[in-house]
Structure 1
């Protein structure tokens, strides 16, 4: 019997899911609902939300291939097309970083290729762009999809559903010069006074700052040095507001594929989980401590941790950075990262932390609520800082606008609070008393519930407040399945990023998208279960020289 399957969303996670679904026996009818005008890119890489100057923080070699790699796709383009993308053919390389819109074009092309492949394999695929799904109604057998279109509301029945919506952020201004999200980046604008405060100092905040700088000026490079010149008649003022007063560090070099950890390993994690959730976080920390001590004893000694707890590691890790002058440290870090890339040298503690967060991703679905909160409050920011590095070109541009006098970083600490006063934004308890005309919240995607996603009937049919919690009896084939009330259809899987973030806080990378797509396809098709590691986009998928020494 043919099965009709709806995929809600058409971004990278949906595209990887499609890749692994179409290997099934012929006869699937796949309906793909996309709210936008273009299928494939998703919000992070869409031309609707990004400007050409904004770089993705994932090298081409890190992106799991679909029908071909990003480098192969770029190599197939004409010189004229490459020129429109701002890419010189000799510069196409595995470790190069490209604008987000280039990745968006790649995913759009690969999405179309997969759809053609699916038809060639005997499946039927219908792509419904500009169809915003308003509700998913579970029935005894199957589901009703309710979608809003320009022609009015439409309904259709399907046998199974994959909810693969991506970022869900407010993209409209609530008031003049108040942005609850930096997206769409191309709509960001300053008022007459040319001043903006940006909440956050991670990559999203950096992208917002660089977008504003490019809108009111231009970057130039001479002899390897990036400069910035403003074209505004009034001086620009852009402030990043940070609790700790830190900036993410530059992308670092390490071998591909990643070498597996030998102490804090997947096998060891499975043994820890088998002992039960009580004390699981503490047991994982002991293995993590042993791994870090073995791999980089000098760094471990530098931390000076007496009790290797999540709280102790957080204080020690960030404490060593908070003692340095921010921009002096940023300049030094960029120089070190560039030297290491040229020499193919790996900083071991960074490499260990990057791999260790993937092992913690296996643990998180099993933690008690208390330990999960501890992880979010402490270790999540450590790992996000360690692996969430920034392309060298973006750091260089950030330093350029700093040298031009445009950029500052305000340390909020625990006391700093934003207030609105006389139509402007001010900071109480921190900073130097400056006020700003524009405010941009760039803290990134926040975790949401089923009710927050807006699918009311689906939320009412589930009584799970924590749908991705697991126990020792959980089956891999049920990864990301939503368990609805008895008597209702159960063939529904959710890999919507806002819903994943509670138990999978590192789910925002493209390798995660592939892992989630594999797991969902296995669950839908009843094939051999595939473990979904929940790894970040820092994970590598291609073969390269192993780490020497």
Structure 2
């Protein structure tokens, strides 16, 4: 049987899991992997260019689909000195532990190399092109070709675009303004001035860590964490801001793998699309699932009298009314107690299990229902599944106790402008000026116009696809010669219709669908 020739553009988690699942198909393979960075297999969020040792991954071994080994097994095989250099005690490793991102990147690198060795031992041809940026993807009768600075590679039977997240280039940053935490902030020297950070999520906390680690250090005594500011940096102040001004909550204990839902199941939610008011019907199921799981919580927020447009307001009401740091302390105490005693908060677990099921019907909602979903349920689901490591909350509280960090709620109406080197925020008749500003609001959905491959971009625009249309195996639909031959597995281009397509588990799911489609040759529409 002739080997399938495949190009994988990007060697982060999506690219690695794609190779893993392609090997499981049993097809003979000739795979070329392209990595823009200097080392294949690490992934942008886990690379030294984008992270430092203080930044924590928001996923533990128990949630990471294993590749050659589980993440915990890999950690336990590492030298003690290496683990301690990352702040880990070799005796305290466990499957629910959050570790530094850089260490997780090294795991993925090692796993890719193990996969490549396995593939070659089975007779597959695997080539890795590091420090190689793909400039364009072209098509002709022979197949698809990949254009790099060194020329044309191919033809390939299939090209899989697995480029991961995409943020503004470092060229857009200045010494006082960073359009994302990944646009040169890690290498920048930040002076001890008033620093503004747009956002209060884990990305925003990471941005704060990148700044404060230049001006002092965290010190631990027992269970207490404090931050000591260098005397020369006494003027450092950090203001994190968002519309609501709430901090994320700490990651909570729950059974993994997830237990099945009782009411808001995938078939029941799919059936909502046949009703006159699909989103309202879906919310009825969400509400019923929560009432079934945790009637006390439902009674406390009056869930029985809420609808799809009022639930999110009730969900956030107490938190928005509270001091964010006092809420964070109480929440941290709660989740740490629950972890120690393996207690699951039923309403939190119900929301966590439902968000991916609800996501399946989002592409088929009307524009009006999609707007309503984005304003309400989406924010609530994201808040629930984007809980952050407890250590991140401890660091936030230590910075607050040191008098360095504050939080500013902006409300719905504010203006942000640049005035020379300063960033100016105007809200509620107040003017706030920041000598350094970091926009840390995270990944935004991207459209066809944002694709970095000109020939592919032109083919999609000529077909009037402002948003790429993909099948269940992530192959392009209605894209002329690229249809069925190019798989778009880059998460930013999928977020319009899959608002929760984030994280390593999503990467693994996408990769499995691509390999399954290649093995069976069947493809159906996924989103449009």
Matches within 5 A, 1:94-133: 94-133=95-134
Say if 1:381 and 1:198 are closer, same or farther in 2 by CA, change over 3 A: same
TM-score (norm 1): 0.90
> Which deviates more, 386-395 or 262-271?
262-271
Instruction: Give the count of matched residue pairs.
Output: 520
| Secondary structure class of the residue paired with 1:457 | helix
Map of 2:264 onto structure 1 = 264
What is the Cα deviation at residue 343 of structure 1? 1.2
- Matched residues in 1 for 2:525 and 2:512: separation? 8
- Matched residues in 2 for 1:349 and 1:174: separation? 42
- Matched residues in 1 for 2:279 and 2:475: separation? 25
| Secondary structure class of the residue paired with 1:393 | helix
- Matched residues in 1 for 2:361 and 2:27: separation? 37
- Matched residues in 2 for 1:427 and 1:78: separation? 48
- Matched residues in 2 for 1:255 and 1:58: separation? 15
Map of 2:224 onto structure 1 = 225
Which of these residues, 152, 159, 162, is aligned with residue 161 of structure 1? 159
Matches within 5 A, 1:67-466: 67-148=68-149, 152-172=150-170, 173-183=172-182, 184-191=184-191, 193-233=192-232, 234-273=234-273, 275=274, 279-305=277-303, 308-421=306-419, 423-430=421-428, 433-462=431-460, 463=463, 464-466=465-467
Q: Deviations over 1:34-60 (max 9, x none)?
A: 100111121111122100011111122
- Matched residues in 2 for 1:30 and 1:452: separation? 26
- Matched residues in 2 for 1:285 and 1:437: separation? 44
Say if 1:418 and 1:134 are closer, same or farther in 2 by CA, change over 3 A: same
Q: Deviations over 1:427-474 (max 9, x none)?
A: 2124964421001000001110122021121122222234357xxxxx
- Matched residues in 1 for 2:314 and 2:189: separation? 39
> Which deviates more, 301-310 or 112-121?
301-310
Say if 1:146 and 1:433 are closer, same or farther in 2 by CA, change over 3 A: same
- Matched residues in 2 for 1:176 and 1:280: separation? 48
| Secondary structure class of the residue paired with 2:31 | strand
Q: Deviations over 1:461-512 (max 9, x none)?
A: 222234357xxxxxxx733221144555522111101101111121111111
- Matched residues in 1 for 2:307 and 2:146: separation? 47
Q: Deviations over 1:192-243 (max 9, x none)?
A: x522100000110011112211121100011211010111513211000110
Map of 1:537 onto structure 2 = none
Map of 1:482 onto structure 2 = 476
Matched, 1:54 2:55: yes
What is the Cα deviation at residue 280 of structure 1? 2.6
What is the Cα deviation at residue 346 of structure 1? 1.0
- Matched residues in 2 for 1:300 and 1:86: separation? 41
Q: Deviations over 1:243-282 (max 9, x none)?
A: 0010000111111221110111123234345x37x63322
Which of these residues, 477, 491, 515, is aligned with residue 497 of structure 1? 491
| Secondary structure class of the residue paired with 2:310 | helix
| Secondary structure class of the residue paired with 1:310 | coil
CA contact (8 A) 2:56 2:389 kept: yes
Map of 1:473 onto structure 2 = none
| Secondary structure class of the residue paired with 1:218 | strand
Say if 1:496 and 1:221 are closer, same or farther in 2 by CA, change over 3 A: same
Q: Deviations over 1:304-347 (max 9, x none)?
A: 35764332112211222111121111111111111111111111
Q: Which runs of 5+ in 1 are unaligned?
A: 470-476, 534-549
| Secondary structure class of the residue paired with 1:458 | helix
| Secondary structure class of the residue paired with 1:215 | coil
Map of 1:540 onto structure 2 = none
Say if 1:135 and 1:82 are closer, same or farther in 2 by CA, change over 3 A: same
| Secondary structure class of the residue paired with 1:32 | strand
What is the Cα deviation at residue 283 of structure 1? 2.1
- Matched residues in 1 for 2:111 and 2:526: separation? 22
Map of 1:35 onto structure 2 = 36
What is the Cα deviation at residue 87 of structure 1? 2.4
> Which deviates more, 99-108 or 297-306?
297-306
| Secondary structure class of the residue paired with 2:24 | coil
What is the Cα deviation at residue 26 of structure 1? 4.8
TM-score (norm 2): 0.93
- Matched residues in 2 for 1:325 and 1:447: separation? 32
Q: Deviations over 1:503-522 (max 9, x none)?
A: 11211111111111100111
Q: Which runs of 5+ in 2 are unaligned?
A: none
CA contact (8 A) 2:196 2:240 kept: yes
- Matched residues in 2 for 1:465 and 1:370: separation? 19
- Matched residues in 2 for 1:224 and 1:500: separation? 41
CA contact (8 A) 1:411 1:431 kept: no
- Matched residues in 2 for 1:216 and 1:52: separation? 15
- Matched residues in 1 for 2:300 and 2:91: separation? 42
